[in-house]
Chains A and B, each alone.
Chain A
Amino acid sequence: MRFRLSPHDTPKIIAWVFILGCFLCSIYGLVSAASASSHHDTSLPWQYWGEVFSFTLWQAFLSTVTSFLIGLPLAAGLAWRFERAKPYLLALMQLCFVLPPLVIVMILIQGLGKQGWLNSLGLSPYGLLGIVLGHAFLNAPFVARNVIQRLESIPRTEMQLSQHLGMSTFAFYKWVGLPHLTSTLKSTFLFVFLLCINSFAIVLSLGGGPGSTTLEVAIYQSLKYEFNPHQAAWLAAVQCITTLSIAIIMIKSSATHPSKPECISLGKKTKGIHYIALISFLLLWCLPLCLFITRHLTNVISQSFWIEPLALSLVYGFTVTTLSALLCFALLSSQRAKTASTLIANLGIIYPTMVLTTGLTLLWYRSALGQWSPLILILAIQSLVILPYLYRALSDPWDRIKHQYGPLYAHLNMSSGQRLRWVYWPLIKGPFIGSFCVSTVLIMGDITVPAMLGFEHFPTLSVSIAKSLGAYRFEIAYGLAAVQLLATLFLFSLAEYFGRTEYANR
């Protein structure tokens, strides 16, 4: 088969070249520094690295399973219920997913620590249990959210049929729910698994000691303290191979059958069990968050120093997300080589951020570009890091639109611009604004890239938090974290509102 280029492919090719170029440059930067560096040895035995590798996978597996054990019943309890409260519930669920690690640690400690109100359970938030609980706290609502969205998109006819047949709840999930959910479950499982492998701050803060070293932590260590690019390079290679194989399985399993989401009310009575799901969610997730916010917001609300970093965080988040969204649309613009595009979009989660940043920074400063401000570099790195999230959120609706309206616009002979303006944009606006808000929040909360390149380029909220912590101002730092939480909550409510109204109008 001959590969012919059509004008439709141009944006996609530009995006491929840009993304692959960045990653290849990063690999080149790191490898050249590694071959130039003096120490090639690692004083740690192979057995140690074996343990690090197996611990990385083991904690990720346990964390993912726990997230599912909590997330699935939550989803079953909340799907098709509480229509009015749902946008806010879903916003809260996403909130947990992108909380700054410091806040999670503080909340877990408020809840489970020595002074905590769950202390009577006798659980310690440190060590493997702490890591698993921390990850579950982050990811269970994310799992629930994905599953709820998928459940609610089951066609009306199947729902009605199951009602007519008088199926029990169990039978309904077995015969109707599961076939629809399989691909979502698989891809969500692998996505959460990948996130837990790449997780960094939770493992470090709640791990309880060097017994809980993961690959990501080891990479950070070799770059941050020892500046040993050689060790970092081979650790990154091991991590990449692991995550790449998981990502390939994920992409293969997420070949979904596009179907239109329908918000339907089944007219079932809301049973007690659903209230239990709702109340336990509110108690376990929302109460600690509210407590955190009310306890710490008063520290800063009367002062004004949080306004500037908040505004800058938003501007910065919007800029990076716009760049990333352009890449995402370019990747989605043509159907050719779809699997490869998906893989390329997901490189940000396969390849460790720390390594990407270091590699590119090394190359940047060893070239003539080094005398310029690294702002472009920062924007490029951050946009690659959030690309997987944007792509994940947009590729499904995009395919659905393509599936539904493809023949129509082909028949009408519309140009790409016209298609985007009249077909895609009105339909994708909701998910787009939604994922835009989520990505902005992710960028606002990121600290890896600022830590690497120097804080003066990042006057954002998370950097302000780090600064005030460094100067003993813990109360101010927690206050800023509360502001960040509220901003995040606002952005998410916005996201859910837009997402919902779009669906409601259909």
Chain B
Amino acid sequence: MHAATLNVQWLINAKNAYFAFRERARSCSISTVLLLLVSFMIQSTEAQTKPTLRVATYESFVTEWGPGPKLKKAFERQCNCSLEFSTATEGVALLNQIKLKGEHFKADLVLGLDESLISEATATGFFQPHNLSLPPLANDMLWKPNPHFVPFDRGYFAFIYNRTKLKNPPTSFKELLNHPNINVVYPDPRLSTVGRGLLYWMNSIQEQETAGAWQSLAKRTLTVTPGWSESYGLLLEGEADMALSYHTSPAYHQIIEKKSDYAAALFKEGHYAQVEIVGIRHNTPQAALAKTFIQFLLTPESQRIIALNNWMKPVIDVQTHPALDQLPPPKGLPSFEPDTISKQKKSWVSDWLMNSRR
């Protein structure tokens, strides 16, 4: 009997404790919700006072090693606004997302398309004329002013090799094509921006004679990889003698890894350049802020940040780092007109495809 009373008492105690706990939990949750609401309201009023500039770019631009975070910090310090990045895998994926998502593509500014995509990008109707007067660009830059887009960095396509392993690199494209002992890797022109660069480079050197050149290159090719990283990985692993990349790649190894093993093979015929561009959305409410950001991108400070974190050359004359500034300059080849590219691209790809099969 006594045990039973005890049990009942214990049950009552437990029940009371439970109700008290529930009450406390409830008041806790109510206060949490209230707190959240208040903080949300504060945040939204803050957002109202501070405009946000949404920048769409490619992934490697905003990684912790990329220029994105540093640019954001520097720009937010002076603009009284907040900068927000959204990303696609790379430049072409950015353009595809614009085509896929149309007006739902959330960006005021698109950063990271390249010169060869100008015609296609303009045709989407997504961009507005920037009407900006640009600072004087670098002397060796062959840029034709465009109403919609502004260049922010550049690099020449080049084959990178390991100096310790390849003692006598070819000095011309022709020599590479006829070299018996060299194997090269490059990304697929159908799938990668760098690979597409090879297509333009080859067509700009060879003009009419590309078929034979592709056939010779196929004999030198170890493999064609889906993206730049697999190609470059094969070079670093020592599998391939040369990999297609940018002439600025060796600067990364020198500055970050303190290694001077890697170098770009400079070819007599010249090198094709990739110029990366930025453009403003046609109906953005933040057009003025977007223009300020573009001007900010072309300041010496930002150009230095971009060059030393994106591993490309600045578009204005500015000192960055001796390792990057003192890279031997390649001979530049004139870029194709955007219209020529959009007309010829398909036949160039099929030309490569039909002549590169072994």
**Chain A residues engaging chain B, CB cutoff 8 angstroms:** 43-44, 48, 102, 105-106, 109, 113-115, 126-127, 130, 201, 204-211, 213, 220-221, 223-227, 305, 358, 361-362, 365-366, 370-371, 451, 454-456, 466-474, 477
Contact = CB atoms under 8 A, between A and B. Distances in A.
Given A204-B191, A210-B353, A365-B104, 5 more contacts: A44-B353, A204-B226, A224-B93, A456-B86, A468-B65
Given A209-B357, A225-B190, A358 B236 contact: no
Interface string B344-358: 001100101110111
Given A204-B191, A454-B97, A365 B237 contact: no
Given A204-B191, A455-B89, A224 B63 contact: no
Interface in B253-279: 256
A205 B232 CA distance: 12
Given A204-B226, A207-B223, A210-B224, A358 B100 contact: yes
Contact of B99 (A213, A227, A471): A227
Contacts of B236: 474
Instruction: List the 5 closest A-B pairs by CB distance, nearest first.
Output: A470-B60, A370-B104, A211-B357, A469-B229, A204-B226
Interface residues of B, number: 60
A477 B59 CA distance: 15
Interface in B206-239: 218, 221-230, 232-234, 236-239
B356 A210 contact: yes
A224 B100 CA distance: 11
A468 B63 contact: yes
A365 B252 contact: no
6 contacts: A115-B238, A208-B224, A210-B357, A225-B191, A365-B105, A470-B229
A455 B354 contact: no
B87 interface: yes
B87 A454 contact: yes
Contacts of B252: 472
B54 to A, nearest CB: 11
Given A225-B92, A466-B89, A365 B191 contact: no
B127 interface: no
B350 A43 contact: yes
A127 B183 CA distance: 14
B292 interface: no
A455 B59 contact: yes
Given A221-B190, A370-B104, A454-B86, A43 B223 contact: no
Nearest to B96: A227
A362 B186 CA distance: 31
Contacts of A227: 95-96, 99
B102 interface: yes
B185 to A, nearest CB: 9
Interface of B: 58-60, 63-66, 85-90, 92-93, 95-97, 99-105, 188, 190-191, 196, 218, 221-230, 232-234, 236-239, 249, 252, 256, 311, 346-347, 350, 352-354, 356-358
Chain A facing B: main interface SS: helix
A471 B66 contact: yes
B357 to A, nearest CB: 4
B65 A471 contact: yes
A204 B218 CA distance: 16
B125 to A, nearest CB: 13
Nearest to A225: B190
Given A227-B99, A467-B63, A208 B86 contact: no
B100 A362 contact: yes
Nearest to B224: A209
Contacts of B86: 454, 456
A467 B60 contact: yes
B264 to A, nearest CB: 15
Contacts of A455: 59, 87-89
Given A48-B353, A126-B223, A226-B346, A211 B358 contact: yes
Contact of B218 (A209, A305, A468): A209
A109 B191 contact: no
A503 B212 CA distance: 64
A472 B238 contact: no
A371 B223 contact: no
Contacts of A361: 100-101
A201 B229 CA distance: 13
A204 B100 contact: no
Nearest to B236: A474
A350 B236 CA distance: 37
Contacts of B99: 227
A79 to B, nearest CB: 37
A43 B347 contact: yes
B357 A472 contact: no
A113 B95 CA distance: 36
Contact of B59 (A105, A213, A358, A467): A467
Contact of A370 (B96, B101, B354): B101
A208 B221 contact: yes
A362 B104 CA distance: 11
A417 B230 CA distance: 51
A211 B221 CA distance: 12
Contacts of B85: 456
A209 B65 contact: no
